[in-house]
Structures are given as C-alpha cells and as structure tokens.
Structure 1
Amino acid sequence: MSSPRITLGAINSEATDPEALARFWAAVIGSSQESAGGSVYLPPAQPGGLAMFFQPFNGPRPDRQTMHLDLTVPWGERRMEVARLEKLGATTRWHVLDEYPHVQWTTMADPEGNLFCLAEHPPKS
C-alpha cells in the first residue's frame, strides 16, 4: 500500500470584503494578491508556504467557527509578531502561556472576526 500523496493546496474562506481581508492576510504571510471575479488568491510566499483564497459570502455568516488556523513562529518571537499583526488590524483575544510546557500561544481575530492562533514552541533540549 502506498502512502497518501495529499498536500494542503490552500485555505479557503468566505469574507464580507474579500479584497480587504486578503490584504490583511497577504501582509501576515508575506504574499501577493491575485484578484479575479470578486475573489482573491494569495499564492505561497515561499516553497511549502501557506496559500489562501478569499471569496464573497454566499449566505449568512455561521454562528460558530468550527475551524481555525494555527500559525507558528520561532521561540521568542510571538510577542513581536502579535504586535505586528495588531498593527495590521488583528485583535488579541487571549493568551495561553503556562498551561502546556510544549507551547505558548495567543488567540487572535482577523479584521472580520475569524479566530486564529499564533504559537511558539520552546527549543527541544
């Protein structure tokens, strides 16, 4: 039996304003924007990087978010990145700093209120 050959193509999201939300995420991940027909694609900024796709809402916004992104930064850079993302328009919702020895993270919301986490893992000793 061969192993699965599945990779993540892109994270897709509906947005009230796809262009504005794509601008925010392009700045977060260091990507460029490719717009067509009211939708926006952000190609990976580097090989193996994250690709994202934003399209207009086609129905009412769900009451509950069932998935979110977990982004990681090198150990010691989380606070600096949180500050950078706040300047881009994200809001900090809460921090999880002492609950787990293998990770610290900050839960944030993008400009449309979608939650995501920014985590750092201590170096392995």
Structure 2
Amino acid sequence: MSRDIQITFDSGDPARLAAFWAEALGYRPQDPPAGFPSWDEALDAMGVPPERRGDASAIIDPTGSRPRLFFQRVPEGKQAKNRVHLDVRAAPGLDGDARMAALEREARRLVALGATRLRRHEPAPPHAGHIVMADPEGNEFCLD
C-alpha cells in the first residue's frame, strides 16, 4: 500500500520558518482551500480568531512530487539534537572538490536566508562529504 507523507515542524514562528524552507527547497505557500480567494477568508469561514492565524503554515512542492511541509506553533523552544533531519541534496552527481564547492555555495545562500552553518565533513570514503546546518529555529539539516 502506498502512502503520502507530510513533514511537520514544531515552531515558535511558523510563517517565518515556512518562508525559510520555501526558499531553501523551491517550495511555495499552500493555496487556500477551494472556493476561498485568500487564507484570511478561509480562516474567517472556519471561525479561526485573528490572534490564532499565525499558529500554522504549510508549503508545497510546485511539481507535486515532494512532501508537503507543515509548520505548527508550539510554546517550547527546541530542546535537543534532532533525532530525524532533512538531507537537502544540493550537489547531485558531483564529486570531490566540485561537490564541496556546490555545497559551500548553497550554505552561503542559506545563511543569507537565516540558517546557521554548524560544521563541514570532508569527503572520506565511503562518504562524499556534507555540511551540517541549522534552520532559523535551530533544527539541524545537512547539505548533502
């Protein structure tokens, strides 16, 4: 049986984190439900009070081939290292110096968007090398 997945992030600021990941991955904000020209109108119809409208945000892959990312507000901040993380494939098909140069370019772009560079792992067989990053709320991910 085939199943779709959604990746959910707990967040202090769902809209900000969704905007970061949309830029990082080439995603876009999810459209409002059918029949509603805007999210505000949809949320009005759902009875969501204005003060709760920033509690969630979702982004989608424009091609529809990758999973939806959902961001939900939680009261607590990040407490420890992620047990699951995303690997952002930023250098497909590249090896050695060319691979690491592509990863460095992507790391600089993501830092400009609010990410933090944590550490670089050099290529050493059997591993091709990668850069460990954190998103604006400290969630670790790898540029791979």
1:117 maps onto 2:142 in alignment: yes
Question: In the alignment, which residue of structure 2 is the partner of 1:49?
Answer: 66
Aligned letter for 1:51?
Answer: R
User: After the TM superposition, which of the residue ranges 22-31 and 50-59 deviates more from structure 2?
Assistant: 50-59
Q: Distance in 1 between matches of 2:143 and 2:67?
A: 14
Say which of 62, 80, 105 aligns to 2:105. Answer: 80
Aligned to 1:10: 6
Bigger relative contact order (CA 8 A; separation at least 6): 2
TM-score (norm 2): 0.70
Contact 2:10/2:71 (8 A) holds in 1: yes
List gaps (5 residues or longer) in structure 1: 120-125
3-state DSSP of counterpart to 1:117: strand
Code of the residue aligned with 2:60 in structure 1: it is P
Greater fraction helix: 2
Identity rate, percent: 30
Distance in 2, Cα, partners of 1:45 & 1:28: 13
Q: Which whole-Å CA distance do the structure 2 matches of 1:116 and 1:53 have between them?
A: 16
Max Rg structure: 2
Deviation at 1:98? 2.6
Higher strand share goes to which structure? 1
* Aligned residue-pair number: 115
Q: Any unmatched runs of 5+ in structure 2?
A: 31-38, 44-52
